[in-house]
Structure 1
Amino acid sequence: MLANPHFRLYALRTLTGVFWLLACLLSGPLAAQSAQDVLPADSLEVRLILADEQQKLQILLTLSEQYLDKQADLALARSKQALTLARRLNDARSEAIALRATGNALRYLLSDYESALDYCYKALKITEEREYKQEQAETLHLIGDIYFEVGNSYKAIEHYMQALAMAESLSLYPEVVKIFNKIGVVYTALGSDQKSIEYHKKALRISKNNEYNPGIAASNYYLAITYTQVGNLDLALEMQHIALALRQNMQDLEGQAICYMALGKIYLLKTDYDKALVQVNSAYQLYDQIGDTDGTARALNQMGAIYIEKKDFAQAINQLKLALSLGEQFNNKKVMRDSYEYLYNCYAALKNYEQALHYKDQFIAISDFIYGEESERRMAELQNRFEIEQKESEIAVLKKDKQIRDLALQEQANFRNFLIILLVLLSVIFTLVLYLFRNHRRSNQQLKSVNEHINRQNGELQELNATKDKFFSIISHDLKGPLNSLTSFAGLLINHTDALSKDEIKMLATDLDKSIKNLLSLLNNLLEWSRSQSGNLDIKVEPLDVRELVYANAELLQRTAENKEITLHTRVPANLKGFADKNQMNTVLRNLISNALKFTEKGGSVEVEVNEWKDAIEVAVRDSGVGMSPAVLAKLFKIEHKYSTPGTANESGTGLGLMLCKEFVERSGGMISVESQEGKGSTFRFTIPKYKPAPQPAMAV
C-alpha cells in the first residue's frame, strides 16, 4: 500500500491531469507527422528566403504548425504572414488554413479564446462557401478543442460531432480516430467513464480496420488511462503494453516515455515497486535522450516517490534533489512543488525535523504561488467563456432581429400581393373559387401524404413477413433433422432388434439421447423466443446476486467442461448486485457458457469474468476456442441469418440461443457484443444495470 492517503491522491491526480494533457498534445496535428515528412524549422526558414510567393505561402503555413508547441509567438507571426500573402494571391483555401492557424496560435500563446474563435469562424465561413470539406472538418475539430479548453464540454461535443460526420464522409480515418478519442476525453472530464471507453473503442476499431498504428497506439493508451481510473489495473496494464509496443515500432520516443510513466503509475498502484522503478527509469532515459527537461524532472520525482514507498530514503532524496535542481533551473514550479513535498516526507520519515520543516515551508510557499496563478488562469478562462457566450447571444439576437425583419417584409409583400389579386379578380365569387381550389389542393396533398405513409408501412410489413418466413424455414429445417434421426433410430430398433448387439443398441440409444436433447433445447429456445416476440413473456426485474448467478450456471455446466477436459474459471467480485430478470439472465449465461464449451478444443479453457462500472455490471464469457471470421460475426444476433456450426466434439446447435440472449439482455436495459478472431477464441460481453437501493428517508429527531 502507499505510505499515506496523500500519495494515493497524488497518484490519481497525476493520472487524470498530466497524462491526459500529454496524451492530448501527442494526438495533435504534429503527432502524426514523422521527421521524414517535413523539414526542420531552420531549414524551412532558409528556403523561405529564396522561394517564390506560392512556395513561400506553403512554407509559412508549415512553419506556423511546427512552431505551435514550443514557440507559439513565432507560430502566430508566421500564420499572420501567410494570411496576408494568401489574400494577396487570392488563394481562398490557403486563406482559410491561415485563419485557422492564427486562431490556434492565439489559443496557445495568449489563451485568447475569443479572438481564436473569431479567426476560426472566419475560416469556417470560407470553407463552407467554397465547399472545402477537409479544411471544414479540421476547423470544426479545432473549434471543439477551444470550447473544451474554456470548459464548455457540450459545445465541444457538438462541434466534434459535426467534424466527425464530415471526416467520415471523406474517409479521413486518421482525423476520425482523433475526433473519437477527443470525444472520449471530453466524456472523461464529464465523469462518464463508460461513454469515454465506448468512444475510445470506436477509435480503436477504425484504426485496426485501416491498419493505422498511431491510432491503435493512442486508443490503447487512452483506454489504459481510463481503466486505471476505474480501478481495472490488469486490463489497463495489458492495453498500456500494447500502446508501448506500437510506439516502439514507430520509434516514437516521446510517446514511449509517456507509456512508461503510465506503466510506472499502474505498478505503483499495484504496489509492485521494483517494476514501477524499471518503467519510470525507462521513461527517464528517453526524456533525457530527447532533451525534454520537464519530462526528465517528472520522472525523477516519480522515482523518488517509489523509493519512499520502498523505505529507501537515501535513494529517494538523491533523485528528488536532481529533479528539484532541474525544476529550479527551468523555473518549473509544479516540478519544484512535488520535489519539496516528497523531500519533506523523506526527512520527516528520517526524523530530520529541521530539513523536513525547511522543505515543508518551501512546499507551502510555492503551492500558494501556484494556486494564485491557477486562480488567475481560471478567472481568465471564465471571463473568456463569458465573453464567448455573450458574443454568441448577441449573434443569436441579431439573427432573431433579421428573421423578424424578413418576416415583416414578407408579410408586407403578401399583403401587397393580396391587394393586387383583389383588384385583378374584381369578384368575391372568384375569391371563393380560389379558396376552394386551394383547399382541394391541400386535401390532395394530405391524401397523397397518407398514401405514401401507408405504402411505406406496407413495404416494411412485407419485409418483416419475408424475414419471418425465412426464419421459420430455418427452424423447420432444424426440426426436421432431429426428427428424421429419431425416425431412423426407431426403425432400426423396431425392425432389427434381434440383429443388434448390446453395444450397438447402447450406441444407438446414446445417439437417440443426443438427438432428443438437441430437439428439446431447440424447442425450449423457440418457445422462449416466441413468448418474447408475442409479449406474453413475464419479466420480473429484481435485485440479483451476480456472483451467485455466475457460480450456479458454472456449476451446472461443470460436468460438460470435465467431459471435454476444459478448464472452467470464474472471476466475480463479491457483493455485486444487478437489477434484471433472474430467469432470463440464467438463460443468457447458460447459452453463452454452453457455446464457449461447445467451440473450445479439448484441454482448452473458458473464463467467466465480471467487471463493475459506474452504472452497469459487465459479464464477459471468454474462451480459447476456434473463434469466428468477420463474415460470421456480421451474421450473429440476426433472425434472417441463422448461424450454426458443429462444435469441436461435433455438438450440434441452431443459433437461436444467441438471438434469445440478445433479446433478453436488451429487454433488461443492457447491451451484448462479441469480439473474436479465427483460431484465437471468442469473448461475449453483456451488461445489466447495477442495482441502486432507494434512499432511506431521514429519521425524525
Structure 2
Amino acid sequence: MLKVSHLRIVIPTIFLWGFSLLNLSSLKAQVSKKDSIYTNIQHYKLKTNYQKDTVYINLLYTYGKSYGFQNLDSLLILAEKTIDLSKRIDYTKGIARGHIILGNYYSDTGDTNKAIESFKKALNSAEQINDVQIIIMSKSSLATAYTNKGDYAKALKEYLTGIEIAKENNLEDSLSILYVNITVVYSMQNDYEQCIYFLTKAMKLNKKIDNKRLTAITLTNLASSYIDSDDFENATKKVDEAIVLLEKLQLQDWLTFAYELKATIYLEQEKFEEALNWFKKSEKLHESIKQERYKIPMFNGISKAYFNLKEYEKTEYYALKGLEIGDKLDILDQRDEILETLYELKKATNNPIDALGYLEKFKAISDTINKKNNEKELRFLKSNLEFDQEKERYILENEKVVAKQRLYFYGALLIILAFSIIIYILRRNNKIQSILYRKLTVKTKQLQKKEKHLLNSNNTKTKLFSVIAHDLKGPINSFKSMFDMLSAKQMSSNEFIGFVPTMGESIDSIAFTLNNLLSWGQTQMNGIVTKPENTCITTLVNQNNALLSKMAAKKSISLENNISEKVLAWCDKNQISIVIRNLTSNALKFTPENGSISFGANEKGKYWEVYVKDTGIGISDSALDKIFNTEENFTTYGTNNEKGTGLGLVLCKEMIEKNNGEIYVKSSSDKGTCFYFTVPKAAVKKLKS
C-alpha cells in the first residue's frame, strides 16, 4: 500500500509593521486578501520615491511569502526586487526577508543548495540587527532545506536552536510552528511516537493562542503521523477536523495535503474508488499551485489507486508524471514506490523486459536511500532535545530531585569502589612482584626456578593490565563522563536515572570480570590452593543459574538443569562453581534470544562428565584452536555485542586441571556448542566418613 508522504513544513508568518497603517476597511468587503495586498502595492507605486519606502518593500515580501507558490516565476521576481530595493536603502530586515522568499523559490524548484545559501544569508542579516522573529524564521527555513537535502542532523540542530530562542523570548506562535516542523525530521526516521508528542504540544499552544491556521496545519500533520502508525481511527478524526478548518480558511496548499491523507486512508482500507475521488480533488487544487515537489506523492497515490482498479494505462501515466518530477527535482522520496508500481504494472501486463528495467532502477534508488541514513547522528542530537524536555519538568519536581541526587551519590560511591578495587589489584600485584624480586636476590640457588616463576608473574601482570585497560577502564571512564556531564548540567537528572539500569549491568559485568581476574591471577601466581570436598554439582548449577537469571531473562533464554542430586564429585566447590559460572555466562552471551541452555552429567568410570549445552551461534574451527590457549588472549562479541575478557575459558581449563579433570568442547557454526568437563566422583568411603 501507499506510504504516507512525510509531514509538511509550516512556513512561519511575520506580520509587517507598516502594513497595519493601511486603510483596508473599504477593500475587505470587495476583494480577497491577496487582491488587497496587490492593490496596496499598486497604491504605493503612485507615491514619490516609493521604492525607498520600507512599507512598500514589506508589501512585496508579504505578497511573495503568502502567494508566491501559485507562480514561481513571480516569486523569483519579487524576491530579487525585495533584496535589490532593500540594499539600496540599507534596509537589513528587508534584505533578510528577500533572501527568505528567494530561498523558498529555490526550494520549490528543487535547487536545495541554493536554497540553503539564501537562508544562510537571511540568517546572517537577521543576526546583524538581532531580529528574533526573522532569526527563527531563517532557522526554520534553513532546517527545511536541510531536511529536503536529507541532512537530518543539521536540520535538527537548526530546529533545536530555534526552539530555544522562541522559548527565551516567549514567542508561542513561532514555538508552535517549530514544534510542528521538527516532527518532519522525526518522520523521516519513522519515529512517529516523537512526531505525535511534538504535534500534541503544538496543539496545546495553538489552543492557548487561538491560532486556527496553525491548528488546522497541526491537525493535518497529526493525521499523517497516525496513518504512519497504522492508527486509522485517529487519523480519520484528525484529517476530517483539518479539512473543515482548511476549507474555511481557504488554505489551498494544505488542503491538497489533507485530501491526499484522506485518500491514503481509503487506499489502506482497499476502498480504491473513494481513494481516487479524494486524490482527484487534490489534483484539481494543484492546478493553481506551483509546488511541484508535493505533486509526487499525489501522483504516486493516484497511480496505485488506478493499478488496484486495473486501469493500467492511467496507472502508467500518473506514475511517469511523478517519476518525471522526482528526476527533475532530484528528490528520492517516493521514487522507489513509483518505480515499484511500474515494475508491478509491467509484470501484470506481461512486459518482462520493461519490468526488469524498472526493478533494477527500484533497487538502485532503494540502495541510495539506505546510504543516506543519518540515524546515528540524529539520535545523538535527539538526546539534546530530550534533555530540554526533561528540564521543563524538573521545575515542577523539586522534591524528587533531592531523592534522585541521593541516587547519584550512591552511584558515585559505586564508581569509587570500582576504582578502589582496581587500585588494590595493581598494588597487590606490585607488592607480589617486589617480594619475588627480593627472594630472587636472596635465594641464588633457586635462581633458575624463580626466574621461570618471575616470567609467568610478569605475563600475568601484563595481561591483567591489558584487560583492565580495555575492559574496565572504558566503562569506568564512561561513568566519570556521565557524572561530569551531570555536574556541568549537560545531562538532566532524568536522563541520568535512565542510565542507572545500564550502569547496574556494567557494574555487574565489572564485578564478574574482576572475579575472573582475581581467580586467574592467583592461579598464575600459585596463590590459590585447591581444597577438594564432597560437592553436589546440581546445587552449584542452581546457584549460578540464580545469579545469571537476570541476564537469561533479558534474552528470553531458558535454563534447564537435568543433573541429578546423586551426582557428587570430589572437587574444590568454589573452583568448580567458577567454571560453571563462566561456561553458563559464555553460553548466554553466544545464544540468541529465545534460545535454551541445558546442563547434564554422564558417568565416565571414576569420573563425572558434566556438560553445558546451548543452542547458540557455535564456534568456528579456527576459534576452537584458540579458546583454551593460555598464550593468546582470545575474545569475541556475543549476539547482543556483549564483550568478555578472554580469560574465562583459560581460567576454566586451569581450575579443571587443578581438580584432576579435563575440559573439551564440541561445536559447529550455527548449530550450538557443548562444553564438557570431568571431575572425580566422590568416594563411597568418604561419603560414609
Q: What is the TM-score when the length of structure 1 is the normalising length?
A: 0.43
Q: What is the TM-score when the length of structure 2 is the normalising length?
A: 0.44
Structure of greater Rg: 2
